[in-house]
Amino acid sequence: MFESAKFEHRLDKASFKTLEPALREDLLNAQFQLIDQKRRSLLVLIHGPDGSGKGAVLNRLYGWLDARKLRTLTYDAPTTNALTHPPAWKYWRDLPGYGEIGIMLGSWYQTALVDRALGKIGRSAFTATLEGVRRYEAMLEAEGVSILKLWLYLGADEAQARLKALEKGQYARPVVRQWTEVDTAKERERLWNAAEEVVRLTSTPAAPWHVVPAVDGEYRDAMAGTVLLDMLRAMDTAPAPDPAPRPPPANPAEVPHGLPQFSILSTLDLSKALDEKTYREDLSAAQHRITRLTTAPAFEKRGLVVVFEGSDAAGKSSAIMRLRHALDPRRFRVHPVAAPSDEERARPYLWRFWRRIPALGHTAIFDRSWYGRVLVERVEGFCSPADWGRAYGEINDFEDELTSAGYIVVKFWLAISPEEQARRFEARETIAYKRFKLTPEDWRNREKWPLYEAAVTEMVDRTSTTAAPWTMVEAEDKLYARVKVAKTVADRLEAALGR
């Protein structure tokens, strides 16, 4: 794996001095292209044994590049907030905006490497983790975040010698030590093997590992600078990320050689209804269960994420209101999903949802959600078919991160008939305090009903998982819908937490 790096690579100081000004100028020019275009961002991952010079390379890059658009991202020092959120949350929180470069010390590889070395995870769990990492990096790549991965290579003997020197305090400057827990010969051996596997299994065409011989500081830094320059130039000349989005055909039933369109919505019995008395009793019972379960000690280590999607005027707000009454106002937030801010626009799509994921023990209710990509963005042609096509997998991975970290994810589609929607729109026009809920846009959207039916059907097919299933809610009768929502939340909480 590291064969060629094992040979001696050196650069004398004089050659380095000769080479440096031109490299520095080229790096700056390439970085300014990145900054000016604001089309992509770059993550530089620096890994390698303790003493291989991770901190030194980082400082060198700060010296060479325009530091105003650089960020250091580190994950070793314990931060309390990171512990109360899913593991991936911290990477999302720190993601640099387009035009910026983030230099990472201790990335998603770090925990996996050390856990493997200490024997906390076996080989297959390790490989599965790396497979998850590949998908994560592919998603970032597709969303405009390029990744440059540097492995600062030292032979085992050299690394051991440096470690000794480190422990004797012979290094004057702060040293980035990440492998301190790895102690025995057995653990060290597993670590080295795991490192080889990382480089082997996660070198993808878009984000390959670069093995940088690190015995000699000048050679190491010059090579790091050179591969960084290559990456920046490749990013600059890369074709535009996606062909311009086109609106889909006006009516999916008219697609050439189209099969008759199946709609999951057509399977729902919209005549389901409740009388006022049953409604009051059932709602109250479900609310009590929700209150009890979300204030139980067992909920402290879990979290609740509720997604509301549905046609306009299907009753999302009024269903949310009934959930609200059952929850401690200090422990939940409702997130209405509106247009992204410029900080959100400068980052991958899922960023604006990750930043709203609640801490453990808390609840987040999303009034519309990340499913916008495969619903409105698909139907309106706001993103390309390639973008919403890959979104299903990305969303499944995202929700898997949540459920694996203990969150209970509940997703509702509130369904009404087009006729009922028209009646509700008309009512909104006449009741003063409901008028604000209706825009001309809402009337126009009705014409796209068949397109939405197709999108909803595919969405449910592709993203209803065992851990995070969709619940279709027959919402023609508001009372029935509210009770079904509250009961479902209560049932899911009970299934997860016990009675």
> Minimal distance in Å, beta carbon 80 to its own copies?
4
Please name which of 61, 47, 130, 161 lies closest in space to residue 102, comparing C-alpha atoms: 61
DSSP states of 417-465 as a string? -HHHHHHHHHHHHHSGGGGGG--HHHHHHGGGHHHHHHHHHHHHHHH--
If the CB atoms of residues 99 and 248 are measured against its own copies, the closer one turns out to be: 99
**Radius of gyration (Cα) for the chain, nearest Å?**
27
- Figure out which of the listed residues 12, 36, 76, 181 binds its own copies, where binding follows CB under 8 A: 76
**Binding track, positions 397-436, relative to its own copies; x by CB under 8 A:** -----------------------------------xx--x
- Cβ atoms of 65 and 101 closer than 8 Å: yes
Nearest approach in angstroms of CB 16 to its own copies is 15
CB of 461 to its own copies, least distance (A): 30
Closest CA to 94 of 140, 55, 63: 140
Q: How far apart are CA 26 and CA 229, in angstroms?
A: 7
How far apart are alpha carbons 196 and 192 in whole angstroms?
Answer: 6
- What six digits make up the tokens of 101? 């470069």
Residue 291 makes contact with its own copies by CB under 8 A: yes
17 forms part of the interface with its own copies (CB under 8 A): no
Give residues 123-142 in contact with its own copies (rule: CB under 8 A). Answer: none
Which listed residue (287, 369, 421, 445) binds its own copies by CB under 8 A?
A: 287
Among 321, 386, 427, 495, binds its own copies (CB under 8 A): 321
Using the rule CB under 8 A, give the single segment among 79-87, 160-168, 193-201, 398-406 that binds its own copies: 79-87
Q: Report yes or no: 416 and 426 within 8 Å, Cβ to Cβ.
A: no
Nearest in space to 143 (alpha carbons), one of 155, 132, 135, 151: 135
Choosing from 227, 270, 296, 334, the residue that interacts with its own copies (CB under 8 A) is: 334
Site for its own copies in 152-191 (CB under 8 A): 172-174, 176
Is residue 333 classed as helix, strand or coil in its secondary structure? strand
Type of residue numbered 415: A
Among 10, 18, 83, 262, binds its own copies (CB under 8 A): 83
| Tokens linked to 126 | 């390790």
What are the residues binding its own copies (CB under 8 A)? 21, 24-25, 28, 32, 55, 58-59, 62-64, 66-69, 71-72, 74, 76-77, 79-81, 83-84, 105-106, 172-174, 176, 284, 287-288, 291, 295, 317, 320-321, 324-334, 336, 338, 341-343, 359, 361-362, 367, 432-433, 436
